[in-house]
Amino acid sequence: MRTLGQPNASFKGDRGDPDAALRVLLADAYTTNDAYLHAVAGLCAGRLLLPIVAAGDDHADGPDPDRHAELAAVLLESGAGDGRRGVVVFTGLDALQAWNPHARPVPCTLDDVAATAVETQASAVLIDPGLPHSLVLEGELIAQLAQGRRLIALDGGGFGWLYVQESADAAQPTDADVRGHAHEH
């Protein structure tokens, strides 16, 4: 059995299989506002695959012997010519390989992807682009996720942000430092 490379021990044994329930949430995401938020909450709880590709090693006349390829996250540019870019991420190895069989999958969480979007000044995160269940995240949602916050569905209805608030007195957060705040979208 082949597994994905693990930059994070929490993905040990992961083979890149998609989560069927998550894909159902994604397929229904644009039916209502709550359905969209349930899909985002599902993404926050799951594993995603960030495609990494080699960049910078080829020139028009062949490879430059003084340069080496660098691995980089994939950014797609808007076809509208407005300079907007989006970070691409996938819910399963099947979707990533259908999109680009040469891309290397890096397991990650949605907050990691959002942080990459902020770092690269991308305005969107594109989940499973080109597939019937694709989803786009933008704006304040990316900003919240990039801070390590995760959207959760609340037991009484609605949604909230779950995050760990580090206390100034302790190097490690305690149970009392876990916070949730209501979210409206």
pLDDT at 125 (0 to 100): 96
The pair of three-digit structure tokens given for residue 33, joined into one six-digit string: 């506002």
Integer CA distances (angstroms), 164 to 68, 149, 161, in order: 39, 8, 10
* Strands 85-89 and 124-127, bridge-based pairing: parallel
d(CA 99, CA 79): 18
d(CA 122, CA 114): 9
pLDDT at 66 (0 to 100): 57
Cβ within 8 Å of residue 94, ≥6 positions away: 16, 18
CATH number of the domain at 17-56+69-147, please?
3.40.1350.90
**If you compute the radius of gyration of the chain from its CA atoms, what whole number of angstroms results?**
18
pLDDT at 13 (0 to 100): 74
d(CA 182, CA 161): 6
**C-alpha 123: how far from chain center:** 13
pLDDT at 16 (0 to 100): 85
**Count of beta carbons in the 10 Å neighbourhood of residue 23:** 19
pLDDT (tens, 9 = 90+) of the chain, 185 residues, equals: 333 444 556 677 778 888 999 999 999 999 999 999 999 999 999 999 999 887 655 555 555 555 555 556 776 676 666 778 899 999 999 999 999 998 999 999 999 999 999 999 999 999 999 899 999 999 999 999 999 999 999 999 999 999 888 766 655 554 444 444 444 44
Residue 90 carries which DSSP code?
B
What global pTM score does this model have?
Answer: 0.76
Nearest to 51 by CA among 91, 90, 18: 90
- pLDDT tens-digit profile of 71-119? 567 766 766 667 788 999 999 999 999 999 989 999 999 999 999 999 9
